[in-house]
Structure 1
Amino acid sequence: MNLQRKLEILADAAKYDASCASSGTELRDSRDGKGLGSTAPGMGICHSYAPDGRCISLLKVLLTNACNYDCLYCVNRASSNVPRARFTIDEVVRLTIDFYRRNYIEGLFLSSGIIRSADYTMEQVVAVARKLREEHRFRGYIHLKTIPDANDALITEAGKYADRLSINIEMPEEDSLAKLAPEKDARAIRRTMGRLRLKLDEAKEARKADATARVRAPRFAPAGQTTQMIVGADAASDQTILSTSANLYGSYRLKRVYYSAFSPIPDASRALPLSAPPLMREHRLYQADWLMRFYGFDISEIVDATNPMLPLDIDPKLAWALRHRDRFPLDINRASREELLRVPGFGTKAVDRILSARRYTSIRAADLSRLHVPRNKALPFIVLADHRQSPKALESMTLAEQLKPKAVQLGFGF
């Protein structure tokens, strides 16, 4: 099989893994003459976006789509009738270097099906990163998928060469994983996450001491670890999914939990749903995740046993505000940062701009556009120097309909 055909198969096979956004690593640049590649913003084919909005281009492939495991939700499962291919280590290295030199990419996202054993697969993945770094002095971004229960020495070596490591938890509940992916062990996945966290913590402490030490602290995955959950392949509610995410963030200090809407696959098992969940559900989970991580919301404020699913027609912050109208309207010239973060339409940057601006002047309605705040969404919930919302308007039962995005009112999922 020629290299182009392998690339077609193995790039397509990798498309279901969403956890490849690159962010948070150290800045490196080849212009200092010490190597090839860069983690600084650049031009190329867009594959993902960093949290600050930068477009990141990655060569995203599997080393092989052959796999010993028969996970029912995976198109690359052992029993799946799909074309199989496998790159050699040198082929992945050559593709990465060639694509970088053509300005197509800024880095590599490499995963693999399980071949022979966890250790053998991890050895092959690490060998690609080692060759790029040591033989070709590649300084671009590298994200490696970690194989659960691979040898500890291999995990350490992976962190030496990779900017980010990830291991997918796959399902929000252990029972679902046991049913849909019987060869995978939820406890083994958690053990590996725990080992990664321990090594990341050790590297962080070593960097703190590095300022006074003569020997530079060993490098270990400076962009941290991430994971991914499949949404809609089982009956787990949004409350269950977000509870699992909250536990993962707290236990393993993950940089991100990615949510990937289940996509029906050929020759699917009867244990799987016949259709994909709405993509809007995936989007709402990301919004709720953001509220927990950056806006001070507890999971019980977003979903609970009475309302275990996020509404699809409005975002979770607006849904919370409509359930707690007694906390509004809020005087934005006096409210605390924590209170402002709960106003619909106020992002973290907008709140920082408001706090900065009100030191010098009272904020008026005309100032909202200059502060990049969506007026129509925010005005019902705030008091300004020249604006006060009527209590009747805030209490109106039609307020939710008025604030819904027009596309949602028309039936589109945007």
Structure 2
Amino acid sequence: MELTDKLAVLADAAKYDASCASSGAGRRDSRGGKGVGSTEGMGICHSYTPDGRCVSLLKILLTNFCIYDCAYCINRASSNVRRARFATEEVVKLTLDFYKRNYIEGLFLSSGIIRNGDYTMEQLVEVARSLREDHHFAGYIHLKTIPEASPELLEKAGRYADRLSINVELPTAEGLAQLAPEKRADGIRDAMGELRWRIDENTEARKAARVVKTGSRRRLPRFAPAGQSTQMIVGADGADDAVILRTSSALYGDFRMRRVYYSAFSPIPDASAQLPPRAPPLQREHRLYQADWLLRFYGFGVEEIVPESPRPGGGMLDLDIDPKLAWALRHPQHFPVDLNTAPREMLLRVPGLGARNVDRLVSARRHGRLRLEDLGRLRAPLKKLLPFVSVLDHHPRARLDDPARLRAQLAPQPRQADLFG
């Protein structure tokens, strides 16, 4: 098969993996020195980092051959998809050629499992090693890690890659046993724990090296400086949003994940009867990302975002409004929030206020009492914000006395296409 044909097959096969952002990478730049590549600069946009930088990544599989037969995977062993496989030197050549043409700033490399986990991981590591050592590539590298691979191979992967990721696949061990019986939930978490231990150990060693400096001491290399991430498939099993978010919360706490990515299940050809016939609404994936943000940056707990309920569907996020607005409407007793006196923790719970605007308000109120005209200077949706806040010349208590009516006013109206889609 020609290299261009392989690229068409294996780039398309990689589109189902959402965890390819490059946030958290160290700043490296080969301009003015020896080497190739950079984690800075601009190219064709494929994703954005949290600080707003546009990054482009070559996102491919080493191969879509796989010995596993996971029911939800388009590349499963029993699938009839067209197969292809790159040689390691072909991936290296593509990465360098695409970078020199300013198409990309880095590489996201995953793979189906060929032969066994160690053999596959060896191939992935060799690509990263060759880029770094043979070609002095300074761009971003994200390797998808094989949970079954040996700790020694995980250690090698962390030497060369900026970020490593291990897909948790499904929210529960029961779901994984049902739809991917060849994979073990405890094995996946063991590999995540191994990565966390190595990242922490490297961080402590680098701190110690900075304390005890000598003229001949070489700077210790970093291990996976952008940390680790994972991905969960949403809607392939019966897990509701509360279960998904509890799993995410545990992953952030236990393994210090940089990100948990959510990928809505997509129906595949010749699908197993165990899978649902239709994909979940994409809005569900969107709401999970919003809820995930509340968990990580806004001080919310899972039970606040998705309260327990005995009714069917009680563990699901509202699709018509975002989770922060839903929480506020369920707790009108906490509002309106006085923007001149409320602590930062409470300001973060106001619908329409993001972390940056909260910091601006906290800074501004040190110099004077806030008024309605001051809110107009914020880049915030005032329609959503004003019912929940008070300032010197604005007191909205009456609107909070009827949360149902307020919800109807704030929920976005369905578009014509949504009514028939």
TM-score, normalised with respect to structure 2:
0.95
Contact 1:313 1:408 in 2 (8 A): no
* Aligned-partner residue type, residue 89 of structure 1: T
Contact 1:25 1:163 in 2 (8 A): yes
1:318 aligns with 2:317: no
Distance 1:267 1:114 in 2: 21
Q: Secondary structure at the match of 2:31?
A: helix
Higher alpha-carbon deviation: 46-55 or 134-143: 46-55
- Which position in structure 2 is the counterpart of 1:286? 289
409 and 377 in structure 1: CA distance in 2 versus 1, 3 angstrom threshold? farther
Q: Which residue among 230, 234, 237 is the counterpart of 2:240? A: 237
Report deviation, 1:215.
Answer: 3.1
Contact 1:287 1:315 in 2 (8 A): yes
* Structure 1: runs of 5 or more not aligned: none
Distance 2:97 2:390 in 1: 57
1:64 aligns with 2:63: yes
Distance 2:347 2:91 in 1: 48
1:162 aligns with 2:161: yes
- Which position in structure 2 is the counterpart of 1:328? 335
218 and 310 in structure 1: CA distance in 2 versus 1, 3 angstrom threshold? same
* Aligned-partner residue type, residue 202 of structure 1: E
Report deviation, 1:412.
Answer: 7.0
Alignment of 1:210-249 (within 5 A): 210-211=209-210, 212-213=212-213, 214-249=217-252
* Aligned-partner residue type, residue 362 of structure 1: R
Q: Which residue among 361, 365, 369 is the counterpart of 2:368? A: 361
Distance 1:55 1:393 in 2: 40
Report deviation, 1:384.
Answer: 1.1
Contact 2:336 2:397 in 1 (8 A): no
Report deviation, 1:394.
Answer: 4.3
* Aligned-partner residue type, residue 306 of structure 2: V
Q: Secondary structure at the match of 2:267?
A: coil
Runs of 4+ more than 3 Å apart: 406-413
- Which position in structure 2 is the counterpart of 1:401? 408
> CA-to-partner distance for each residue in 1:204-246, whole Å, 9 max, x for gaps?
1112112134232232000000000000000100000000001
* Aligned-partner residue type, residue 224 of structure 2: A
1:3 aligns with 2:3: yes
Distance 1:405 1:16 in 2: 29
Report deviation, 1:25.
Answer: 1.5
Report deviation, 1:34.
Answer: 2.8
| RMSD value, Cα | 1.6
Higher alpha-carbon deviation: 384-393 or 173-182: 384-393
* Aligned-partner residue type, residue 124 of structure 1: Q
Distance 2:299 2:416 in 1: 29
Q: Secondary structure at the match of 1:406?
A: coil
Higher alpha-carbon deviation: 19-28 or 49-58: 49-58
Q: Secondary structure at the match of 1:296?
A: coil
Q: Secondary structure at the match of 1:113?
A: coil
1:13 aligns with 2:2: no
Q: Number of matched residues?
A: 413
1:339 aligns with 2:346: yes
Distance 1:257 1:396 in 2: 32
TM-score, normalised with respect to structure 1:
0.97
Contact 1:380 1:394 in 2 (8 A): no
> CA-to-partner distance for each residue in 1:236-274, whole Å, 9 max, x for gaps?
000000000011111100000000000001111111011
Q: Which residue among 252, 256, 268 is the counterpart of 2:255? A: 252
Contact 1:368 1:374 in 2 (8 A): no
252 and 300 in structure 1: CA distance in 2 versus 1, 3 angstrom threshold? same
